[in-house]
Copies of this chain bind each other. A is one copy, B any other.
Amino acid sequence: MEKLLLILGQLMPLSTELREDLSSKVFVSKVKKGEILISEGKICHQLFFIKKGFLRGFHYQNGKEITSWFGFENDFATSTHSFFSQKTGYENVEVIEDGILYGITYEDLNNIYDRHPEFNYVGRLLTEKYYLDVMERTLCLQFQTAKQSYEQLVATHPQILKRAYLGHIASYLGISQETLSRIRAKK
């Protein structure tokens, strides 16, 4: 809990009431490798903060698993589309390494936004950050060779290379696992 409040507190001083409100609503959840936290086709009610562990979001396309993001310590994670829109989503969230998560429900979070309008500042800033992340990723996917995409990932997100499966990385880059394996072999 402390870690989360620390991170949020770095963005904006948190009033005592806000800290208490957050503390009373945030729950802790221990998760095991292989566990599916959120399944496609359902409405996602929780937003998670990763204290420890490693998650990924993925969906199916043409019968294949496509990884859409990786989540590490101190990241926030959820089935983005479903959580924000509160409609059924296409995204699954899977635990890749055992971990400890802090969670909050959509309802509780929005109550906190209502009671503490200034907390929207934190929400805005974090959303902007994740927005920029996806944007940059999109630009990479849009017009690079498989090799360029891989090298960019090596340069910008070495932790993904270290901790994720090759197949997951390949689909994250939008290329086949075999192609990625060959690119690596040639270095």
Chain A residues near B (Cβ < 8 Å): 59, 61-62, 64, 66, 68, 80-81, 84-85, 113, 117-118, 120-121, 123-124, 127-128, 130-132, 134-139, 141-144, 171-172, 174
Inter-chain CA distance A64–B139, complex, in Å, is 13
Bound CA–CA A66/B62 (angstroms): 26
B120 touching A80 by the CB < 8 A rule?
no
**Extra pairs beyond A64-B143, A127-B127 (12, CB < 8 Å):** A61-B142, A62-B143, A66-B139, A68-B138, A80-B131, A113-B121, A117-B120, A118-B120, A120-B120, A123-B124, A127-B131, A138-B141
Determine the main DSSP class of A at the interface with B. Answer: helix
Which single residue of chain B is at the shortest CB-CB distance from A121? B120
The interface residues of chain B lying within 8 Å CB-to-CB of A117 are 117-118, 120-121
A131 to B134, CA, bound (A): 8
Instruction: For the complex formed, measure the closest distance between the CB of A49 and the CB atoms of chain B, giving whole angstroms.
Output: 17
Interface centre among A64, A80, A127, by most B CB within 10 Å? A127
Complex contacts, A138 vs chain B, CB 8 Å:
68, 134, 137-138, 141
Is the beta-carbon distance between B81 and A174 smaller than 8 angstroms? no
The 12 listed contacts between A and B (C-beta, < 8 Å) are A59-B139, A66-B139, A66-B143, A68-B142, A80-B132, A81-B136, A117-B117, A117-B120, A127-B127, A127-B128, A134-B138, A141-B174
| CB nearest to A127 among chain B residues | B127
